[in-house]
Amino acid sequence: MAVVESRERSPLTRLQHLLHAQATIGPAVVLLVAVVVFAVLSERFLTPGNISLILQQVAVVGTLAVGQTIVILTAGIDLSCGAIMVLTSIVMAKVAAETGLPGLPALLLGFVVGTLCGVLNGVLVTRLKLPPFIVTLGTLNVFFALNLWYSGSATIRGTDMPSLLLWTGQTFTVFGTRVTYGSVMLVLLVGAMAFVLKNTAWGRHVYATGDDVEAARLSGIRTTRVLLSVYATAGLIYALAAWTLIGRIASASPQAGQTDNLDSITAVVIGGTSLFGGRGAVVGSLIGALIVGVFRNGLALAGVDVLWQTMAVGVLIIVAVSLDQWIRKVRS
């Protein structure tokens, strides 16, 4: 009977089931088509220098998107990720520049600060039972205010920092393309998180909590502990993004990354992770970040105004969410 039902499925229904089972296929196809189209529109698009620029631009948002992904997989959202990143970058840089603290301790201090910011979000969500949207909207403003207060609204120059803090911005050449260590760190982070989510009990608990938190709790999963660990881990990942950001701009600016929180959500949604939780993959978020980077770069090379570039990304978001709604209606 199951075989007969399978044969009766229309091509559209089979596509719906395929996208439900493999969330990264759709984004991968979009990325491939975008690359081909922009390569045709501009002969400069596939040059080593331009590819290097895209990779550098994607490194920061892509790293934030990894942390954002695990939060959204639990049916949450983190609007404060960009503020945590900037605050952490200021702490790392200012402590090192003003006290002479070596690079490694300054870096570790930044990791602690980022993790604690994530823990604060997690405590407010799990203990006070507040909606993640409201919690992180509030902490977005708190962390941004702390950032301005601690930095005095002043930028810390790269020349005043230890070389380790700038390491992520250093490059090496691969087939004529300059690749930053921050980009390599992003790829390694995506690989590690993809392995953890797929092959560990913690990863399965993250998916189960996002799919149905009450069912997960009744099955014995400590959902409160899972959620708290997710926000803490995300905070640590945002601190890694702060390290990448310092290397990217060769300084620590309190005004950097103003829209990176929204860009990270955009990358996750376009990458196929459901805003309703329980479905998605961190690899898809990397592809989503690349799609955004490719679209903005390709449209710029084609001479399209920034206004229409932003509009194109907005249309992508609406299409991605609409597609997610359609995929969620899949019936076995």
Taking alpha carbons only, the member of 116, 119, 126 closest to residue 223 is 126
Task: Indicate the number of domains in the chain.
Answer: 1
Q: Secondary structure of 52-73 in the HEC alphabet?
A: HHHHHHHHHHHHHHHHHHHHHH
Q: Is residue 59 one of the residues assigned to a domain?
A: yes
Q: Is residue 16 one of the residues assigned to a domain?
A: no
DSSP run (H or E) holding 178: strand 177-180
174 DSSP assignment: E
Residues 254 and 144: beta-carbon distance below 8 Å: no
DSSP run (H or E) holding 179: strand 177-180
How do the residues of the chain divide into helix, strand and coil, expressed in percent and rounded to 5?
Answer: 75, 5, 20
Round to whole Å and give the CA distance between 323 and 272.
9
Q: Is residue 332 one of the residues assigned to a domain?
A: no
Residue numbers of the domain that contains 105: 27-36+45-327
Q: Is residue 294 one of the residues assigned to a domain?
A: yes
Q: Is residue 18 one of the residues assigned to a domain?
A: no
Q: Is residue 195 one of the residues assigned to a domain?
A: yes
| 156 φψ region: left (φ > 0), alpha (ψ -120 to 50), beta (else) | beta
Residues 50 and 314: beta-carbon distance below 8 Å: no
Residuewise pLDDT in 10s, the chain (332 residues): 444 444 567 777 776 666 666 667 778 888 888 899 899 988 889 999 999 999 998 999 999 999 999 999 999 999 999 999 999 999 999 999 999 899 999 999 999 999 999 999 999 999 999 999 999 999 999 999 999 999 998 999 988 999 999 999 999 988 888 999 999 999 999 999 999 999 999 999 999 999 999 999 999 999 999 999 999 999 999 999 999 999 999 999 998 887 888 889 989 988 888 888 888 899 999 999 999 899 889 888 888 888 887 787 788 778 777 776 776 666 54
Q: Is residue 280 one of the residues assigned to a domain?
A: yes
Question: At which residue do the structure tokens 């209606």 appear?
Answer: 329
Cα–Cα distance list, 208 to 18, 276, 291 (Å): 21, 12, 28
Round to whole Å and give the CA distance between 224 and 125.
9
Q: Is residue 19 one of the residues assigned to a domain?
A: no
CATH at 70: 1.10.3470
